[in-house]
Amino acid sequence: MKMGPLLGALEDSSLAPFGTLDAEITPETIDFFVSDAEGDPDCPSEGFSSIEQALNVLRQGKFYKTSSINGIFADPIVQIYVLVVIVVDDESGDVEGNLVIAASLTSPAAMAFIVKHGSGIVSVGMKAEDLERLKLPLMSPEDKDDPSAPSFTVTVDVKAGTSTGVSASDRAKTVLALSSANSKPEHFRRPGHVFPLKYRNGGVLRRAGHTEASVDLVMLAGLSPISVLSAVVDADDGSMASLPNLRKLGLEHSIPIVSITDLIRYRRKRENLVERTSVSRLPTKWGLFEAYCYCSKLDGTEHVAVVKGKIGHGQDVLVRVHSECLTGDIFGSARTGIGLGHKLRAYNLQDQGHDTVDANLELGFAADTREYGIGAQILRDIGVRTMRLMTNNPAKFTGLKGYGLAVVGRVPVLTPITEENQRYLETKRTKMGHIYGSDIQEPLAGFISPNVNDTNSSVQEIE
């Protein structure tokens, strides 16, 4: 059986399947952003409030009188509204804003404000254990397999003290009942007018959704982990409110606006996402390495850091962050994941004319599903502080910001160009901004063999 390049290379120390081992002699480049101060994760995105500002308002628990709502709040009430905005960082540029309050502090007046300025649909973000306690199953069981979709349960109204269930007062009572640890399944009618939503364990670090953002915010504010949220819509045509209109609403009512992106950065900086589980010697034909194994606290996924030599003070360390791809790493596929089964389906789509980005989107995956926050924490744990990052992908620079890390230079990755992967690499350049040479068809002969069984093969320096 012919071995893949990674396994094959272990059998022949004179050749390397990729250009990574010769990176020390590869000239560094500065053809995209590098910095010795990678940015402050607590600094909000332009035009948004900081997470701390929003949490402070949540903790104060007050919403003051405003003339725009005709003095309905003549006195401060025990409630606060936080407008959460997500700006999707892809080509669609979609924006959705939700009014968010803590369920445990809900009042009829607060609910009236949400109903007036929101979509009219009032949702409640809840953890799985609370939904199970109240016997609230998912409205559509297949949603549990779709991480991109919000997971609605059956709708409810509380029985005690309500009439139709649709008034602001009735919905406030239902929300308070959902947030009470003393509530029981028999206390609710099904269906109703309040829409519970299942919060995914790990919050925005697992799924960058409004449900997760709202529950994370109230938890970070020290309140019970149950939220109320309602999407803000345009008053004229009922479409999702634009970012300028969201900012106008926030300014008019002194509501802080925060982005989910900033919330993710805030949590990543403060929370330890991985646990070191073991360290082992790893002897190879290239010398002795150390392998550090880590386990994700979010989903149990294992990650490995392979270290050659001493990191010392952690300055100017050569680093490669590699997302595993079974078909490429083990089977030696030149079309290099999204998992073995999905990758094979993607191959079929590519054979039908799709490129790698279109194939991923067709299967329901993002163009690039990689997550670099875990890697950043691992690098910090093993002692890296500044690095020369081995990559052709500018996204890795932003993905590794924060955590006290700094990127001080880039080392290009050298990889074989074959008939099978040439289109893949060109798609990475044109659609995802990877940095390649102007002509990837021109091979760089005699540098590193892409196939350990063919010493005459050549590779291209991807620059």
CATH assignment at residue 58: 3.90.870.10
Q: Is the pLDDT of residue 130 over 80?
A: yes
Question: Is there a domain that residue 356 lies in?
Answer: no
C-alpha 210: how far from its chain's center? 12
Give residue 124's pLDDT: 98
What is the distance between the alpha carbons of residues 131 and 129, in angstroms, rounded to a whole number? 5
Question: Is there a domain that residue 262 lies in?
Answer: no
**92: number of CA atoms within 13 Å, CB side?**
9
What's the domain count of the chain?
Answer: 2
Catalytic hit among 370, 380, 385, 429: 370
* Domain harbouring 294, CATH code: 3.40.50.10990
Name the residue with tokens 């599903």: 369
Helix/strand/coil for 411:
strand
Helix/strand/coil for 109:
helix
DSSP state at residue 3: P
Question: Is there a domain that residue 452 lies in?
Answer: yes
19 is written with which tokens?
A: 């250009």
Close Cβ partners of 312 (under 8 Å, ≥ 6 residues apart): 383
Domain extent at residue 121: 51-255
Express each pLDDT in 300-330 by its tens digit: 888 999 999 999 999 999 998 877 654 444 4
Last residue of a domain, one of 198, 220, 255: 255
- Are 31 and 158 within one domain? no
Helices (H) and strands (E) in the chain, counts: 14, 17
For 59-168, list the strands marked E by DSSP. Answer: 62-63, 77-78, 82-87, 95-102, 122-126, 156-158
Instruction: Considering only residues 210 and 28, tell me which one the structure prediction assigns the higher pLDDT.
Output: 210
179 is written with which tokens?
A: 């947030």
* Beta-strand relationship, 302-308 and 227-231: unpaired
Question: Which pTM does this prediction carry?
Answer: 0.63
Active site residue 89: no
What is the distance between the alpha carbons of residues 81 and 422, in angstroms, rounded to a whole number? 51
Active site residue 12: no
| Residue 150, φ and ψ in degrees, nearest 5 | -65, 145
- Are 9 and 56 within one domain? no
Q: Is the pLDDT of residue 334 over 50?
A: no
Question: Is there a domain that residue 192 lies in?
Answer: yes
Catalytic hit among 171, 200, 368, 410: 368
